[in-house]
Structure 1
Amino acid sequence: MLSTSDAKLVKRYYLLPKAAWYSLAALFLTGGLAILLVMIDNIGLGSKGFGGLQLIAMAALMIAEGAVCIACGVVARRGLGSAHWQELEHEAIGGNANIGTNPAVAGGIGVAAAGRLVDTPDNDDLDALSAGLEIAGAAMSAYGFFDTMRRMSRAAAAVARAHGMELPGLGRTRLLVIGLPLLLLTLSFVPRFIDSTAQSSASQEVSADTIQAFNAALEPVCSYTLADDPLEHRQDSGYRVSGNITDEDGDIVASVSVETDECGAVDSVVYNADVDIARTPEENLAFVEECFARFYEAISSVDVKAERIELLDTGLVNAPVLPDQFRQAFLTGDYYTAIDTDLDDTSTLRAWALFDTEPKEEFDEYTSPRISIHLMARRS
Structure 2
Amino acid sequence: MATISEQERKRIQRYCIYPKIAGAALAMAFVLPFLIIPFEMIDDIVFHHEGFQETGMMTALALTAIELVIFCYCALAPRFGMRGKQWKEMQHRLVVEQTEKDRSAQIAGVIGTQAAARLLKNSDNETARNLGGAAEVAAAVGAVATAADVLAESFANAKAMAEACGVPIPRAKKWIVALVALPLAIVCGAYIPQLAQGNIKMQQNAAAAAEQIAIARKALEPACEYVSADDPYERYQDYGYHVRGYLHDGDSDTQKTYTYLDFDNKGTLKEVSYIAEIDPDASLEDNLARIELDLDELSSVVQTVDVKTVSPELLAPQKLPEEFRQAFLNGSLYERISIRTSDDLIKTYYSFDTEPEDEFDEYTHPSIRITLVGKTS
Query: How does the TM-score come out when normalised to structure 2?
Result: 0.89
| Residue of structure 1 in register with 2:319 after alignment | 321
Bigger shift: 121-130 or 217-226?
121-130
Cα offset, 1:252, TM superposition: 6.5
Bigger shift: 156-165 or 99-108?
99-108
| Residue of structure 2 in register with 1:261 after alignment | 264
Cα offset, 1:109, TM superposition: 4.2
For 2:364 and 2:157, the matched residues in 1 are separated by 79
| Residue of structure 2 in register with 1:287 after alignment | 290
SS of the residue corresponding to residue 118 of structure 1 reads: helix
Aligned partners of 2:216 and 2:306 also within 8 Å = no
Bigger shift: 248-257 or 42-51?
248-257
Which of the residues 207, 210, 215 maps onto 2:209? Answer: 207
Cα offset, 1:27, TM superposition: 1.7
1:370 aligns with 2:367: yes
Cα offset, 1:330, TM superposition: 0.7
| Residue of structure 1 in register with 2:142 after alignment | 140
For 2:10 and 2:164, the matched residues in 1 are separated by 15
| Residue of structure 2 in register with 1:246 after alignment | 249
Cα offset, 1:89, TM superposition: 4.4
Cα offset, 1:193, TM superposition: 2.0
| Residue of structure 2 in register with 1:361 after alignment | 358
For 1:277 and 1:252, the matched residues in 2 are separated by 10
| Residue of structure 1 in register with 2:228 after alignment | 226
Matched AA of 2:98: N
Matched AA of 1:326: F
Aligned partners of 1:93 and 1:159 also within 8 Å = no
Aligned partners of 1:329 and 1:339 also within 8 Å = yes
For 1:356 and 1:57, the matched residues in 2 are separated by 54
For 1:121 and 1:332, the matched residues in 2 are separated by 58
Bigger shift: 367-376 or 249-258?
249-258
For 1:251 and 1:32, the matched residues in 2 are separated by 58
Matched AA of 2:361: D
SS of the residue corresponding to residue 183 of structure 2 reads: helix
Change (3 A) 1:118 1:157: same
For 1:312 and 1:108, the matched residues in 2 are separated by 57
For 1:318 and 1:273, the matched residues in 2 are separated by 18
SS of the residue corresponding to residue 237 of structure 1 reads: coil
Residue-by-residue CA offset, 1:160-219 (whole Å, 9 max, x unaligned) = 233333222222211222221221121112222222221111111001111111122222
Residue-by-residue CA offset, 1:113-171 (whole Å, 9 max, x unaligned) = 32322225865444433333323322332232223223222322232233333222222
| Residue of structure 2 in register with 1:335 after alignment | 333
For 1:106 and 1:49, the matched residues in 2 are separated by 42
- Bigger Rg, structure 1 or 2: 2
Within a 5 Å distance, the mapping from 1:302-321 to structure 2 comes to 302-304=305-307, 309=308, 311-321=309-319
Which of the residues 172, 181, 184 maps onto 1:179? Answer: 181
Which runs of no fewer than 5 residues in structure 2 stay unpaired? Answer: none
For 2:294 and 2:108, the matched residues in 1 are separated by 73
Within a 5 Å distance, the mapping from 1:77-96 to structure 2 comes to 77-89=79-91, 94-96=96-98
Aligned partners of 2:17 and 2:171 also within 8 Å = no
SS of the residue corresponding to residue 220 of structure 1 reads: coil
SS of the residue corresponding to residue 40 of structure 2 reads: helix
Cα offset, 1:81, TM superposition: 2.8
Change (3 A) 1:89 1:278: farther
For 2:198 and 2:44, the matched residues in 1 are separated by 9
Change (3 A) 1:95 1:53: same
Change (3 A) 1:179 1:218: same
For 1:127 and 1:318, the matched residues in 2 are separated by 55
SS of the residue corresponding to residue 121 of structure 2 reads: coil
SS of the residue corresponding to residue 376 of structure 1 reads: strand
Change (3 A) 1:35 1:248: closer
Bigger shift: 58-67 or 234-243?
58-67
Residue-by-residue CA offset, 1:289-318 (whole Å, 9 max, x unaligned) = 2333333222221223xxxx3x22333223
Bigger shift: 133-142 or 176-185?
133-142
RMSD over aligned CA atoms reads: 2.6
Bigger shift: 321-330 or 90-99?
90-99
1:351 aligns with 2:354: no
For 2:255 and 2:73, the matched residues in 1 are separated by 71
SS of the residue corresponding to residue 259 of structure 2 reads: strand
Which runs of no fewer than 5 residues in structure 1 stay unpaired? Answer: none
Query: How does the TM-score come out when normalised to structure 1?
Result: 0.88
Change (3 A) 1:220 1:99: farther
Within a 5 Å distance, the mapping from 1:62-73 to structure 2 comes to 62-73=64-75
For 1:131 and 1:300, the matched residues in 2 are separated by 58
Change (3 A) 1:67 1:178: same
SS of the residue corresponding to residue 142 of structure 1 reads: helix
